[in-house]
Structure 1
Amino acid sequence: MSNFVLSICVITMNRALQLQEALLSCLACKLPEKTEFVIVDNASTDNTEQIVHETLNDCGYPFYYEKLAENKGVGGGRNYAFNKCSGQYVYVLDDDAVIDEKNPEFFNQAVDILEKHPEVVTLTTQIYDTAWKKNRVSADGREIYPYIYLKEMFCGGSHFLKKSFFGSDPYLGNRYGYEEIIPSMRVADAGYINICVPDLLVIHKPAVDKWDYTKNENEEILIMAFANPYAIKKMLYPKVFMPILFLCYTLRKAKYIKSKECRKKADALCKEITKEYPIEQKIKFMTVMKQVKEFGISVF
């Protein structure tokens, strides 16, 4: 068994000051005694390395920092960082987010939930987004315990994982977007659950609102929002679900992507993802049906 209870894991790139704020917000909390920090730098060109050492050298907890020679993206970077973690539980935080200062027991409460409920493999916290000016995580699943809700998939920006379940490389190794679908579905396929705990709060503070789809510069994010989930689920779900997956994808494109050129780009991205990140092991038919029963048509 690991000597560490908790690994706090952050991947980063060129956000030195925001990263420092994120790390300091973690250190302001009461942490399990056996906690480590793992920081993976996706080839930053700013003073990230200096900031990490200034912040963590005398923090009282061991830490691992590595600057990669190239940017592995979100999925690739998280896989690399996850494999460096030694804790029983791995907490992943976006580098432009902070723990709610009103809850110094944030980490202890999360670990306590994970230890009390062996069927829980992933835990998503609430994320308030300062760009959206609202919460990003909806507690739309059943309340299975007081203030604890079932979740279809965990949210990448703030989540806990039980390391022993995943082994290595839990995420899709793509550069950006929906890399958490596969590990979430693997959890459900194995008979375990993903949960959301809205009382555990993180504040996401993006410098730029990449999700304002009215802006032309955010076109790529809009395309990924539709192409990535479809491509991943197309590889992951049994073939019997292909018609409904395709129908839902087509209807969403027609409703939200007005430009024919953008729709073509979405289709091209789907093909690219299935070619570059093939998934050989599909989840079971009954797993998908149970997800439909719990979460409705949105699973497609």
Structure 2
Amino acid sequence: MKLLSVVIITCNREETIIGTIESCNNNINMNWELIVVENNSKDQTERKVKKFCEANDIQLEYIKNKTNLGVAGARVQGYNQARGEIVYFIDDDAIVLGKGNCIDEAYEYLLNSDEVQALSNKIDDTLYGGILPEIVEYDGKMKNGVDLRSFIGCSHFLKKGNVLPEPLYPLNLFYGAEEIYLSYYIHAAGKRIEYYDKINILHTPSPNARTSEYEKELNKQLNWYIVKKYIYPKKYFIATHILFVIRMIKLTKFNIKKLLGVYKVFKNRYDEKYIKRISNKSMKNIWHKFNWRYLI
């Protein structure tokens, strides 16, 4: 029997996650399971989710972590627990607009598209102030069916298979650049990440971020650099290292204490066991398709 697995990572979002689950339920008619991975919430998320799922006859697997594993670690948990061939990840502050069977249709499309490994959806982000963009193949436009550099984490579908790494993400990335890590493997295997705009998402992230703007930018830049060290062929190391140093000097405003802090975080986060370099040929093909912006 066909089965779709929906995975939601959450932490202290009792006020939004029920809307997320309800919107999924309104757009799924096929057999499905819900997997909620809770990163040590301090609110009533667990009670509310279980109550809603019981009232609406939703098959629920609830994973409660004693510590916050971050997005990367929690997604690995959800993915490993998923029994479906297709896994749909949606953020706990996003909703699928409308009612119907758009999620079923996405499932069927991805399942039956041999060259497509992931789908990234149309996301209207209230903080960004519009549709979230991504780099597309050959400097094209964001339109249905175009190949993307990377899927957007807020709402995306993954098809299980040998193309994807084990584990799905490095467990110590915590938050930031995990989508890029996985996208490299997909493209290196000759598969596509398609923009699928038949699913429309309203994303309403809280203006009160869980981390400061400095920490958010540091996570993004540091993890992006770590991902490059894991995956890039060695011939690209000098250029990527120089760019990273320049970015860190700019971010820290040449504050020595902060620069030492960046190095300490890097040493704690970087782990050589996740090194799985793609070939020079694969890198060249990726660069050709997405231009130099993919490299930097």
Q: What is the SS of the residue equivalent to 2:137?
A: coil
- Residue 189 of structure 1, CA deviation: 1.8
**Equivalent residue, structure 2, for 1:260:** 254
Q: What is the SS of the residue equivalent to 1:65?
A: strand
Change (3 A) 1:74 1:37: same
Amino acid at match of 2:224: P
Q: Is the 8 A contact 2:4 2:84 kept in 1?
A: yes
- Residue 186 of structure 1, CA deviation: 1.3
CA offset digits 1:53-110 (Å, max 9, x no partner): 1211132332211222222111111101111110110000111111122x63320231
Change (3 A) 1:89 1:190: same
Q: What is the SS of the residue equivalent to 2:229?
A: helix
Q: Structure 1 regions of 5+ residues with no counterpart?
A: none
Q: Is the 8 A contact 1:231 1:271 kept in 2?
A: no
Is 2:221 the partner of 1:226? yes
Is 2:268 the partner of 1:272? yes
Mean Cα deviation higher: 107-116 or 243-252: 243-252
Q: Structure 2 regions of 5+ residues with no counterpart?
A: none
Using the size of structure 1 for normalisation, the TM-score is 0.87
Amino acid at match of 1:19: I
Q: Distance in 2 between matches of 1:153 and 1:45?
A: 32
- Percent same amino acid among aligned pairs? 24
Q: What is the SS of the residue equivalent to 1:224?
A: helix
1:107 alignment partner, one of 97, 103, 108: 103
Is 2:165 the partner of 1:171? no
Q: Is the 8 A contact 1:17 1:51 kept in 2?
A: no
**Equivalent residue, structure 1, for 2:203:** 204
Change (3 A) 1:89 1:32: farther
Q: Is the 8 A contact 1:7 1:35 kept in 2?
A: yes
Count of aligned pairs: 290
Q: What is the SS of the residue equivalent to 1:148?
A: coil
Q: Distance in 2 between matches of 1:267 and 1:156?
A: 27
Amino acid at match of 1:188: H
Q: Distance in 2 between matches of 1:139 and 1:295?
A: 7
Q: Is the 8 A contact 1:172 1:180 kept in 2?
A: no
Q: Is the 8 A contact 1:226 1:266 kept in 2?
A: no
Q: Distance in 1 between matches of 2:199 and 2:246?
A: 35
CA offset digits 1:228-270 (Å, max 9, x no partner): 101211221110111222233345446x626123555444433
1:217 alignment partner, one of 207, 212, 234: 212
